[in-house]
Amino acid sequence: MDKKTLSGSERGFKEKEFKKLIEKGESRTLECKESLSLKNEIGETISGFSNTCNGIILIGIKDSGEIKGVQTGKKTIEELANYIKQNTDNQVYPDINVNKVNDKNIIIIKVSEADEKPVFFRGKVYMRVGKSNHKLSASEIRKLAKESGKKVCWDGQVCEGAGLEDVDGGKIKKYLEYREKYRNISKDLKISLNKFLENVKAVKNKKPTNAGILFFGKYPQKFMTNARLRVIRFKGTKIIHPTLDSANCEGTIWEMIDIAEDFIRKNIRLFGTRTEKSFQREDKFEYPIKALREAMINALIHRNYLETGDVRVFIFDNRVEIINPGTFPKGVTPKKPKHKPVNEILSQFVYDIGFVDKYGSGINLMKDLCRQQGNKEPFYKLHSLETKIIFESPVKESTFIEENVLEELNERQRKAIDYLKINKTITNKRYCSICRTDRATAFRDLRELEYKEVVLRQGRGRSLHYVLCEANSEANSEANSEEVNNKNE
């Protein structure tokens, strides 16, 4: 069959023509199904024909060619047409008719090749290869869309298997509250909730979209097993096992971000420093939390969800890596960022609730936040299948302490070592403050560190303080010059 729309005059077959068609058997343009219960297979074939060529599906015919027939009622054709319409995107409206052959009812579905491709069935795309339906990979879908001149909007597709019962009303209410707070947009009270969800593209054809489930779903991972954020704290600077800590963050996008942020706060260093303008103590994390949060948001909303694999956050002693499946859109690079979202609906949602301040500003914001804290700017490593952003720690790892020594130390002593790597010196009073302990415990801990040759005691009386034994001469000279400033500690 050539590519043309099947007209009404072609809807039926004479019995003789019909039998000849069956005798030829299944082919690239003909599919036989024994029963209406095989709706998923019928839908896959409709997607296959729509993306490849005109085709015919005969229901009530066994694979052997035997005419079995099907039972039909008043609403059989209508229900089948609605099922096809509701589960395809772009929606397909095939010709469906019933023919009598040997006094048995045979349903005939005629499908025209689509002008706009790809045509999805329940979130997947198929093409005809011989007499089979081939499920397309993410790269094949992109190629088909490019050939058709259409952009694939994954987040706007209906979520396979999900219904309105899978949407959490409490999360919708929270979204509306945030949107009004951050964007001064209140809900139009004249429209229903379902109409509102359709307007923001969280619902389509009375079913949740992928964006709707990822933002308002009760449990999105029920439908998208790759929509997770995995956070791991490794020991040292390489991917080695066992790990120190890990978490699989699940839920909606905003829930995953909050869970991951809590994990990061527990697994990176916290330093206490003096401010430039006063002697007030100021706590700051090893990395600017807002920058890491921005990177995780970018990874979740700009990733390619057609690719398997989840977003990963790897925490090492000297860096944090955030990796997401997918690449930058064409024309966008880390050096030339612009607002060109992969998932437009998700991007709008995170903007609405104040998770991002301004479209297209994420990369520059992360760089600014790192510079303001005195850290190096983050940088990207690009791969054909994934994107990685790396934040380097400000901690100088030139001070090397044997692993077996570190394992013998308590949590307070390890925290003090992290403090020394940044601040060069520590006193008994400062030890009490950062470790929340008493002077006697601080004295014992520091004496033990001195005995193990981890720290070196310098000065006397009120100027007594400690530096790392392995610190370079420049660091030690800086520490000595700070004795006067530390006298009151």
What does the pLDDT look like over 168-188, one tens digit per residue?
999 999 999 999 999 998 877
Mean pLDDT of 395-400: 58
Look at residue 430 and tell me if it is in a domain. Answer: yes
Which residue among 196, 222, 248 closes a domain?
222
Supply the mean pLDDT for the chain: 85
Which residue among 360, 392, 424 closes a domain?
392
What ranges make up the beta strands (E) of 286-404? 311-315, 319-325, 379-382, 386-392
User: In sequence order, what are the residues at sequence separation of 6 or more whose Cβ sits closer than 8 angstroms to the Cβ of residue 343?
Assistant: 153, 154, 155, 211, 301, 302, 303, 305
Residue 132 and residue 88 in one domain: yes
Look at residue 126 and tell me if it is in a domain. Answer: yes
Residue 303 and residue 411 in one domain: no
Mean pLDDT of 208-226: 95
Look at residue 3 and tell me if it is in a domain. Answer: no
165 CB-contact burial (10 Å; exposed 0-12 / middle 13-18 / buried 19+) = exposed
Task: Please report the pLDDT score of residue 474 as a whole number.
Answer: 39
Contact 61, 68 (CB under 8 A): yes
Of 217, 223, 203, 221, nearest to 161 by C-alpha is: 223
Q: Name 387's bridge partners.
A: 324, 382
Asked whether residue 36 carries a pLDDT value surpassing 60, the answer given is yes
- Read off the pLDDT of residues 297-320 as tens digits, 9 standing for 90 and up: 999 998 888 888 899 999 998 999
Residue 67 and residue 139 in one domain: yes
Residue 235 and residue 382 in one domain: yes
Residue 82 and residue 197 in one domain: no
Domain of residue 207: give its range: 164-222
Residue 47's CB is within 10 A of a number of other CB atoms, namely 30
Instruction: Say which DSSP state 153 is in.
Output: -
Q: Where are the alpha helices (DSSP H) in 252-355?
A: 253-267, 289-302, 344-352
Measured CA to CA in angstroms, residue 150 lies from 7, 141, 481 at distances of: 26, 11, 66
**Better-scored residue on pLDDT, 146 or 104:** 104
Find the radius of gyration of the CA atoms of the chain. Answer: 31
Mean pLDDT of 10-14: 54
- Read off the pLDDT of residues 359-385 as tens digits, 9 standing for 90 and up: 657 888 999 999 999 999 999 998 878
What ranges make up the beta strands (E) of 222-377? 229-233, 245-249, 270-274, 281-285, 311-315, 319-325
Task: Please report the pLDDT score of residue 22 as a whole number.
Answer: 81
User: Would you place residue 322 in the very low, low, confident or very high pLDDT band (cuts 50, 70, 90)?
Assistant: very high
446 CB-contact burial (10 Å; exposed 0-12 / middle 13-18 / buried 19+) = buried
Mean pLDDT of 212-222: 97
Domain total for the chain?
4
Which two structure tokens, joined as six digits, stand for 220? 């999105």
For residue 90, whether the previous peptide bond is cis, meaning omega lies within 30 degrees of 0, is: yes
- Read off the pLDDT of residues 410-457 as tens digits, 9 standing for 90 and up: 989 988 988 888 888 999 999 999 999 999 999 999 999 988 888 999
Look at residue 446 and tell me if it is in a domain. Answer: yes
Percent of the chain with pLDDT over 70: 87
The model's pTM: 0.66
The alpha carbon torsion through 415, 418, 423, 424 (nearest 10 deg) reads 110
What CATH code is carried by the domain that includes residue 452?
1.10.10.10
449 CB-contact burial (10 Å; exposed 0-12 / middle 13-18 / buried 19+) = buried
Side-chain half-sphere exposure of 68, counting CA atoms within 13 A: 15
Kind of pairing between the strands at 465-468 and 455-458: antiparallel
Report how far residue 43's alpha carbon sits from residue 31's, in angstroms, rounded to the nearest whole number.
Answer: 12
Residue 475 and residue 340 in one domain: no
What CATH code is carried by the domain that includes residue 358?
3.30.565.60
